[in-house]
Amino acid sequence: MCIQVEGILYSDKHPISEQVLRELFPILKENYQFLYHITEEDFLLWSQNIRKTKEIHTYVLKEQNHPIGYIQYLVRGKEVCLAEIQIDRTHQGDRKTFRKLMRDFIVLSGLKEDDVVFLHIHPQNKKSQEVFMGLGFQRVEHRRYEITGKKIIEKFLNEE
């Protein structure tokens, strides 16, 4: 049996709908429940922010038309911010899902070797700290972690 996985990019040219955000929100909510009690009000703030910020690109990975993960990023000159990377609990630990999200992110964002990729990780989110430091991200400020585009490209596009 072949499982169909497809990716969809939402940006200012292809705006994300509230329906799609409602499909993604349970993934975010479940992954962050150890840090925050997330409410419907939080969904409204989150979705409004995404829909009004034209620079946010949201790439959704679906399996059999059901979201299994997504990545949100912003490109600002030579810096690329990974604003959000979320994977459904059933696919966490499934290396191919994370790898596909990252590979597609590299291509879609137009990442160059001399770019800097950064993200912010909550100090209590030890799992994310471990994952991203394991990939080579370095903590440069309290919550900010960085890596060069070259290292990410080598890690995900040159990996078998």
Q: Which amino acid appears at position 58 of this protein? A: T
Per-residue pLDDT band at 158 (split at 50, 70, 90): confident
Q: Are 59 and 69 in contact (CB under 8 A)?
A: no
Residue 160 has pLDDT above 80, yes or no: no
All domains in the chain, ordered by first residue: 5-157 (3.40.630.30)
pLDDT digits (tens, 9 = 90+) for 66-87: 999 999 999 999 999 999 999 9
Residue 3 is predicted with a pLDDT of 58
Mean pLDDT on 10-17: 92
pLDDT in tens, 112-142: 999 999 999 999 999 899 999 999 999 999 9
CB 59 within 8 A of CB 7: yes
CA 118 to chain centroid, in Å, comes to 12
Average pLDDT, integer, range 25-40: 86
Q: Residues 14, 67: contact at Cβ < 8 Å?
A: no
Distance CA 144, CA 99 (A): 22
Task: Report DSSP state, residue 115.
Answer: -
Q: What is the mean pLDDT of the chain?
A: 91
pTM: 0.91
